């Protein structure tokens, strides 16, 4: 057994990341707290990049250091998740437009959508100014984009 956590895998253009709901992810009702969905979506986006060979640490340490900020994060809650649920975070990178990455995500349980996210991430210089993504990032993500 590997001591490395899974970064998930691909199903067509979608990256799938399994996550388990733990006690810390829930609110006093036993349902997943709304902010936990944001963390699950972040893991999906990060592990998509990790799976295509782009790690956040490498982006920061590169000769053209860069990071990401979110310009928009629109969530639609459909059904609740509960403690011990096995979920799938489905992530699809749609397009790169200038400094922006357009991303669609959904959290599923047993194939049923529980929460949807429309995300616009922006590539930035470390001083916060927008910048175009590195060539390496574009090359790694381009085969997975669903819009051209």
Q: What is the DSSP letter of 121?
A: E
Exactly one of 3, 11, 25, 27 is catalytic; name it: 27
Whole-model pTM: value is 0.94
Model confidence band, residue 5 (pLDDT cutoffs 50, 70, 90): confident
Supply 120's token pair. Answer: 């616009």
Beta-strand relationship, 14-20 and 86-97: antiparallel
Give tens-digit pLDDT for 113-146: 999 999 999 999 999 999 999 999 999 999 999 9
Kindly give, in sequence order, each residue whose CB lies less than 8 Å from that of residue 99, ignoring residues fewer than 6 positions away. 122, 123, 124, 130, 131, 132, 133
Beta-strand relationship, 67-77 and 112-124: antiparallel
The mean pLDDT of the chain is 95
Specify whether the CB–CB gap between 80 and 102 falls below 8 A: no
> Residues 29-67, buried b or exposed e (16+ Cβ, 10 A)?
eebbeeebbeebbbbbbbbbbbbbebeeeebeeeeeebe
84 catalytic? Reply is no
């Amino acid at each position: 057994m590997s001591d490395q956590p899974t970064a998930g895998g691909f199903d067509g253009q979608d990256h799938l990341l399994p996550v388990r709901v733990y006690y810390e992810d829930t609110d006093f009702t036993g349902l997943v707290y709304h902010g936990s969905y944001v963390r699950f979506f972040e893991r999906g986006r990060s592990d998509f990049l990790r799976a295509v060979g782009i790690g956040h640490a490498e982006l920061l340490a590169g000769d053209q250091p860069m990071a990401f900020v979110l310009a928009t994060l629109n969530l639609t809650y459909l059904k609740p998740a509960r403690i011990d649920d096995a979920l799938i975070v489905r992530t699809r990178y749609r397009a790169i437009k200038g400094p922006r990455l357009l991303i669609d995500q959904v959290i599923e349980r047993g194939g049923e959508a529980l929460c949807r996210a429309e995300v616009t991430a922006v590539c930035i210089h470390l001083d916060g100014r927008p910048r175009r993504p590195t060539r390496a990032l574009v090359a790694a993500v381009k085969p997975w984009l669903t819009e051209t």
